[in-house]
Amino acid sequence: MKNFGRSEPDHCRFLSFVSPDNGWIASATTLASTADGGRTWSILHLPPDSARIVAIDLFADAQGVVMDRNAGLYFTGDGGKHWHLKRLVSPLHKPDLEVHTSPTVALRFQNPKQGMVIARIKNPFSYTIFYTGNGGNSWNSRILSTDRDYMEGTVYISRDMNTITLLDSEDQTVSVFTNR
């Protein structure tokens, strides 16, 4: 696909590769996969009840998760043929899951059970880490940063989930956190 997605606001926002050949690409409304390093893409059909995409993570060949703006985490183990739904539920923090021009939510799983979501919380402002060790059946959380310089910024989680990067909205300040 030469031009994936449409023009803004439905432009390509998300990439996730597990190898040089295997990856996903997504806009807020469309998800596709490649097995040849992006030379060709195949559209994956999301569940009909899913909302606009806010984050994706392909964590193994044909295994990944898509997060939508309703805090739905849609897992697949067969390349998107079938999906099962879990929810990011937090009694203490309400994540900002609006679809922004660039990602404000980061999603990373090591396997179908162990993963994390980092999301911006509006009130009171913070970037908060949500952890699961049981595939999203339950979640723990901790605040990563309350620095308002990142209020409109972008967040990224390294593949090993040990390094978290926050970039401010003016692309001037980058902070790197060690996840412990």
Q: Average pLDDT of 47-71?
A: 93
Q: What is the pLDDT of residue 23?
A: 95
Calpha distance 3→61 (Å, rounded): 24
- Read off the pTM: 0.88
Q: What is the pLDDT of residue 121?
A: 85
pLDDT for position 90? 73
Closest to 40 measured CA to CA, from 52, 60, 29, 25: 25
Alpha-carbon distances, residue 1 vs 23, 42, 61 (angstroms): 13, 9, 20
Q: Flag whether pLDDT at 67 surpasses 80.
A: yes
Q: Which of 142-149's residues contact partners 24+ apart within 8 Å by CB, and which partners? A: 144/118, 144/177, 145/175, 145/177, 147/175, 149/173
In the predicted model, is pLDDT for residue 154 greater than 80? yes
List pLDDT tens digits, range 166-176. Answer: 887 776 667 77
What integer pLDDT is reported at residue 145 of this predicted model?
85
Site of tokens 């559209």: 43
Identify the pLDDT of residue 98. 73
pLDDT tier, 62 (very low <50, low <70, confident <90, very high otherwise): very high
Q: Which of 63, 59, 61, 31 lies closest to 44 in space, CA to CA?
A: 31
pLDDT score recorded for residue 112 = 94
Mean pLDDT of 35-51: 91
Q: What whole-number distance in Å separates Cα of residue 160 and Cα of residue 138?
A: 21
Is the per-residue pLDDT at 5 higher than 60?
A: yes
What average pLDDT score do residues 52-77 get? 94
For the chain, domains (ranges, CATH) are 14-178 (2.130.10.10)
* Closest alpha carbon to 88 in 139, 159, 30, 34: 139
Is the pLDDT confidence value at 56 over 90? yes
pLDDT surpassing 60 at residue 82? yes
Whether 107 has a pLDDT exceeding 70, the answer reads yes
- Count of Cβ atoms closer than 10 Å to residue 132 Cβ: 19
Percent of the chain with pLDDT over 70: 87
